[in-house]
Structure 1
Amino acid sequence: MSSILVQVIVGGLLLGAVYALFSSGLTLIWGMMNVINFAHGDFVMLGMYVAFVVWTLFGVGPLVGAPVAALVLATLGVIVYFGLIRSVMRGPMLAQILGTFGLALLLRYSVFWGFGANFQTLPENLVGGTFDVLGIRIQASRLLAGAVALLVTLGLHLLLTRTSLGSKMLAVAEDSTAAQLMGIRPDSMQAIAWAIAAGATGIAGALIATFFYIAPTVGETLGIVAFVTVSLGGFGSVPGALVAGLLIGVIESVSAYSIGAVYKDIVVYSLFLCFLWFRPQGLMGKKA
């Protein structure tokens, strides 16, 4: 295996870790409430713009921008839950779909109004330069993004499986009525889930902004990636989202290297559809 191919694969894994991070928020919301958030990609877009604003005002990179984006998006997540989701959950699935789709449009066109349609970028040298490890050159920005995204995703999994808060959230996901009888407030747990999910998108957006274009429409692209990642990994499974994100990142990168960046999406989505033909519940999902 050539060193260039190894470099491409490593880059794909780092990008895939970021995909996994913002997709884990989507799978958390589905696992908790069976709600599909069509505004999820636009949450990531907002995280990118928060990082851009932080850099514009203070000249600092994602190590400051990511926590700020997490706080801003977590707050937005709570507002969205109490202002919209709690109401549409009482209606049919169509109300949830149209409600979150309308939210996506609201966020997107608000950013259009505030920042314009021009693409924005952060300076390439904002996060170091490149590292040379055993002949493999890795951009510092991608290494930072991938490492932080991987740690946060694993931390989210540990939160859900190893803490009292996670146990309460899983209890609400399993049976909210029984959880309420045990003294757990479903409203609080679901609001916390939205805060965590939105905060994860904020971190991912701030990290990916260092090497990805920033535009109001970028949420469309990232939203599709999130849905494919969650579907491939299995709805409701954070480890599944992690594995699927890494796979998609590697497939994208190797496809772009082998046949050209224009055709990488064809490879990714073709393999995705073929996989779902044989295992529609995803890698770690449960059969309906």
Structure 2
Amino acid sequence: MSFVLVQVIVGGLLLGAVYALFSSGLTLVWGMMNIVNFAHGDFVMLGMYVAYVVYTLMGGGPILGAPLATLVLATLGVIVYFGLIRDIMKGPMLAQILGTFGLALLLRYSVFWWFGANFLSMPQDIVGGTFAVAGLRIEASRLLAGVVALLVTFGLHLLLTRTSLGSKMLAVAEDATAAQLMGIRPDTMQAIAWAIAAGATGLAGALIANFFYIVPTVGETLAIVAFVTVSLGGFGSVPGALVAGLLIGVIESLSGYLIGAVYKDIVVYVLFLFFLWFRPQGLMGKM
């Protein structure tokens, strides 16, 4: 296997780890409340703009921008839950779809109004340029994004499976009424889930802002990636989102290298539909 091909695969894994990070938030919200957040991609977009503002106003890189974007989006997640989600959860599925879709439009066109429609970008060498490892040339910004995303996604899985807070959140996901009888406040747990999910999108957005284009409509593309990742991994499964994100990242990179960048999305979606034909519950989902 040539060094170029190995480099393409490594790049795909690093990008796939970021896909897994912001997709894990979507699968967490679904697992907790059976609600699909159509504004999820726009949360990632906001994280990118927070990182851009931090760089523009303070000259700070991801070390400053990523934590701030995580905090801002986590706060927004709590506000959205109490201001919108808690009420529309009581209504039909159509209300949930239209409510989160309307939120996506609100966020997107608010950014249009404030920043305009121009494509923005940040210096690719803001983290440290490019360096060589075992003959492979890797951008420091992509390596940082991939490693941090991988660690945070794994940490989220540990939070849900190895902590008291995670047990309470899973109990609410299983049966909110029974959990309330045991002294657990469903509202609090669901608000925390939204804070974690939105915070993960903010972190992912700040990390990819260093090598991805920044524009108000980028959330549309990222939302599709998130839905494909969650569906492929299995709704409600964080490990499934991680595996699916890595797979999609590698498939995208290999398709772009072997066939052409124009066709990489087609390859991903064709393989995705082909896989779901045989396993509709996803890699780690339950029937």
Other structure's SS at 1:125 match: coil
Quote the residue 2:19 is aligned against.
19
**Using the alignment, how far apart are the partners of 2:124 and 2:193 within structure 1?**
34
Quote the residue 1:46 is aligned against.
46
Other structure's SS at 1:131 match: strand
**Using the alignment, how far apart are the partners of 2:104 and 2:139 within structure 1?**
32
1:38-85, CA deviations, whole angstroms, 9 ceiling, x for partnerless residues? 000000000000000000111011111010000000000000000000
TM-score by length of 2: 1.00
RMSD: 0.4
Offset, 1:237: 0.1
Other structure's SS at 1:124 match: coil
Quote the residue 2:195 is aligned against.
195
TM-score by length of 1: 0.99
Other structure's SS at 2:211 match: coil
Amino acid at match of 2:107: L
Quote the residue 2:233 is aligned against.
233
Amino acid at match of 2:244: A
**Using the alignment, how far apart are the partners of 2:25 and 2:48 within structure 1?**
16
Offset, 1:16: 0.1
Quote the residue 2:182 is aligned against.
182
Amino acid at match of 1:130: T
Amino acid at match of 2:191: A
**Using the alignment, how far apart are the partners of 1:169 and 1:49 within structure 2?**
30
> Paired residues, what number?
287
Amino acid at match of 1:95: A
- Indicate yes or no: 2:87 matched with 1:87: yes
Other structure's SS at 1:138 match: strand
**Structure 2: runs of 5 or more not aligned:** none
Q: Give runs of aligned pairs for residues 76-155 of structure 1, distance below 5 A.
A: 76-155=76-155
Offset, 1:133: 1.1
Quote the residue 2:163 is aligned against.
163
**Using the alignment, how far apart are the partners of 2:227 and 2:120 within structure 1?**
25
**Using the alignment, how far apart are the partners of 2:91 and 2:146 within structure 1?**
39
**Structure 1: runs of 5 or more not aligned:** none
Offset, 1:25: 0.1
Amino acid at match of 1:103: L
